[in-house]
Each structure stands twice: as C-alpha cells, then as structure tokens.
Chains A and B, each alone.
Chain A
C-alpha cells in the first residue's frame, strides 16, 4: 500500500491488462479451479458469523409462534401419513415397472443414492443464480451432480470445495437441461434465462405442440439427470412467424428462495475417471 512511482494512468493500464487476462482465462479455462476451492474455505469464518445473524430473528419467531408450530407439526404428521401410504403404492408401481422393463429387455436405472445438504448462502447478487451448500468432496460431491428438492430440479453442482459446493440454478444462462413435455412426450432442451425462477425452450419449431400450462419433467437424455423429475410449467408461448423457433417461457418448479435444503443425487457410482469425464462434458454443454 505504499506510494508507487508510476502515474495513475499507467497503473490503471497495467491493472486493466491483468484483469482482462484473468477475466478471459477464468471464463474460458479451468485454470483457477483451485483458487475457487480456496475461496470456499476463506468464506467459512464469515459464514459462521452470518449464520448467527440469521438465527436471531428465528429465536424471536419461535417464542412468538408456538401455536403455529404446533399446528404445523399436526399438518406435517398428517402429510407424513399420506406420503407413507403413497410410498407403498409407489413401491408396488415401481416393482411392476421393473418387471415390465425386464420383459422389454431394457435396463432400468437404479434408484440413486441421496444426500441432504443445507443451503448456506443465497447470493444477493442478481447476476449469480447460485447457492452454496454445506457438503463438499469430503462427502463425495462431484462436479455436474444433480441437485433437487421435493418439488423438482434445482440445478447442478459447478464448484466443489472441501465442505462447500456451489449449486448453479437452472435459471443461470449457462445452464441447459434436456426436458420432456408430460402431456405428449415432446423432447427438447431448457435453457436458463438469467431471470430468477425462469427458463426458456429456444429450440421448438413453430409447429411444435406446446401450450401454456404444460408440465415439464427431466427426460434423462444426456445421462446427467435421472428421468422424471419435475422441471417447471410453461407460462408463455409466443409464436412469431418472422423467427424460426417458438419463444417459450417456463416457470421453474422450485423457487430456491423458499428452500433451506437441497437433495444431491448420485445417478451412478462416480469413479475418478468418470468424474473427470463428466467435468469435461459439463464444460462442453451449453
């Protein structure tokens, strides 16, 4: 922080060149991946203090709303009961499904392993459609791993630290996801818009059969996501005959603002070489 002899203008030119170099290298290559891992470690003491802050209003709420909590517990118990019943039905359907799949001689995907992670930080920055969670490579988290909630797909892991990872949300513009329309099985690709909670379907030709209100699920193409997880609902279909494709907006099923946890899925047992391969394919996808 001492005085430098070069004039501010030349100082700035030097920094400009340095910054542009960093920006381009970081955007186009994975050279700085270790730096990001260090970043997640430096964050931890800050997060500790932030977590204390986020508990303070909760304590007040707890004292205030004991009756509401009681009510919630009763509701949850009821929901739990219904879900248990549904699980039994689901198990039966799954078995039947597996039997049918065997008959058709197709391999059905093994149900993946699950890991529950807490969301530690939601970014305030409107350009960052990402959340940080409290599981890292210590727990076996890997790049490109799908993150879901009970309502549907949230996104995928893009940075892995020791005990922290970054989940890039579907709405981030760099994200793409193979989807399927539930009503008619139409396959296409959903792409992030940069608007929170919204994706779009840019590759549907003008004649495609899609309507407002259609539900989308993951199609399982590309082997990243397990098929059948809810993605969102079509909220707008614009047909502009001067353009080659329809403009379709989709509201994502999960609004991460209301989520405290995410579930991480293991679609297959990732060994080291496969993991690397997945990293590569993730970078290539867009």
Chain B
C-alpha cells in the first residue's frame, strides 16, 4: 500500500481536486451535530486530512497549504485567526521531519504517531486559548487525540484508494 501513492504522478489538477474534496468532507464532518455522549471523542477531521496529505505528498502539499487550511478553519469556525493555522503548520513541520520514515512504519506505529501529533495540536490550541482567555486546565480535551490515532487507518485506507484510482474518489 505504501508505494501505491508515489507510483503514478498524476497531473496537479487532479491532485488539487482530490485534496479539495477530502478537505470539504472533513470540514463537513467536523460541523455535524454529534450526540452528547460521543462529542468529546470526535477527532479533528481536518487535521487528519492535513496530516495525510503532508505525509503522502509533501512536495505538492506544503506547509503553507497546511497553514492556509488552518486559516480557513479559523475563518469558518469564528475562532481566533491564526489558532488552527499555527497548530496545523506545527503539525506539518513535525510531519515533514518524520515523513520519509513514517510511511514505512507499521500501521500501529503510524496510529501512535498520529495520536501523539493530535494530542500535541490539541494541547497547543488549548494553550493559545489559555493565553487569550485564561481557560482552566480541566477543559483539555485529549480524548479526541486518542480517537484520531484509532481512526487513522480508516482515513489512510480511504484516501489511498481515492488517490490511486481515478474512478473512486468517495471519501
């Protein structure tokens, strides 16, 4: 599975379409109304997609793109501008440091990597809010990070499929 993505180098336009669709669906998923009981477990879908693209296509999906996606999220979520942007850039930086190796890890190791990265991003966003508004530490929502790690294989398999076969682009 790991090499299937790099084999065909399709045109940039198709890449952009697949990226856009995946991001659109991720934003949509993050806006759905989840039941009270699972709300705390909902991972940051957009972050997962950004991790995927920076991991798999670091040349085409740069850190600037990750930052831009974060900024878009800040605009539509009405959060402080720069909050998601900076945390996504940090995630992209960490991914770019590890990217060549991470793709060859076993799925479990990848899950762990994504989990740690997600918790790091959640912690960072919490810290920004703490600085801006003085939130207390009991509202740190780390469970979503664990869930992000657990759901990573699904994201990985679906996006690998969508990216290597031109016909199936459903996320």
Is A8 touching B97 in the complex (CB atoms < 8 A)? yes
- Looking at the assembled complex, report how far the CB atom of A168 sits from the nearest CB atom of chain B, in whole angstroms: 10
Task: Indicate whether A36 sits within 8 Å of B78 (C-beta atoms), given known contacts A8-B96, A124-B34.
Answer: yes
- B71 / chain A contacts, CB cutoff of 8 Å: 22
Interface string of A211-253 (1 = CB under 8 A from B): 0000000000000000000000000000000000000000000
Q: Which of A22-53 contact B (CB under 8 A)?
A: 22-23, 25-27, 32, 35-36, 38-40, 42-43, 46-47, 49-50, 53
A257 near B: Cβ within 8 Å?
yes
Contact residue among A8, A25, A123 (Cβ-Cβ distance under 8 Å from B63): A8
Interface size class of chain A, counting residues whose CB lies under 8 Å from the partner chain: 35 or more
A195 near B: Cβ within 8 Å?
yes
- Looking at the assembled complex, report how far the CB atom of B76 sits from the nearest CB atom of chain A, in whole angstroms: 5
* A130 to B136 alpha-carbon distance, docked (Å): 17
Contact residue among A26, A42, A50 (Cβ-Cβ distance under 8 Å from B76): A42
Contact residue among A8, A23, A47, A172 (Cβ-Cβ distance under 8 Å from B83): A23
Which residues from chain B sit less than 8 Å from chain A, CB to CB? 12, 15-16, 19, 27-28, 30-34, 36, 39-40, 42, 59-65, 67, 71, 75-83, 85-86, 89-90, 93, 96-97, 125-126, 128-129, 132-136, 138-139, 141
A121 near B: Cβ within 8 Å?
yes
* A187 to B74 alpha-carbon distance, docked (Å): 38
Kindly count the residue-residue contacts between A and B in the assembled complex, taking CB atoms under 8 Å apart: 135
* A42 to B139 alpha-carbon distance, docked (Å): 28
**Nearest CB to that of A130 among chain B residues?**
B78
Question: Does more than half of chain B's interface fall in helix, strand or loop, or is it mixed?
Answer: helix
Contact residue among B31, B65, B90, B134 (Cβ-Cβ distance under 8 Å from A173): B134
Is A22 touching B85 in the complex (CB atoms < 8 A)? yes
Task: Indicate whether A19 sits within 8 Å of B135 (C-beta atoms), given known contacts A1-B61, A50-B32.
Answer: no
- A172 / chain B contacts, CB cutoff of 8 Å: 133
A180 near B: Cβ within 8 Å?
no
Question: Does more than half of chain A's interface fall in helix, strand or loop, or is it mixed?
Answer: helix
- A124 / chain B contacts, CB cutoff of 8 Å: 30, 34, 39, 42
**Can you name 29 A-B residue pairings with CB atoms under 8 Å?**
A1-B15, A1-B19, A1-B60, A2-B60, A8-B96, A9-B93, A11-B93, A12-B93, A18-B67, A19-B82, A19-B89, A20-B82, A22-B81, A35-B81, A36-B75, A39-B77, A50-B31, A124-B42, A125-B77, A126-B141, A127-B125, A127-B135, A127-B139, A128-B78, A166-B78, A173-B134, A173-B135, A193-B136, A195-B139
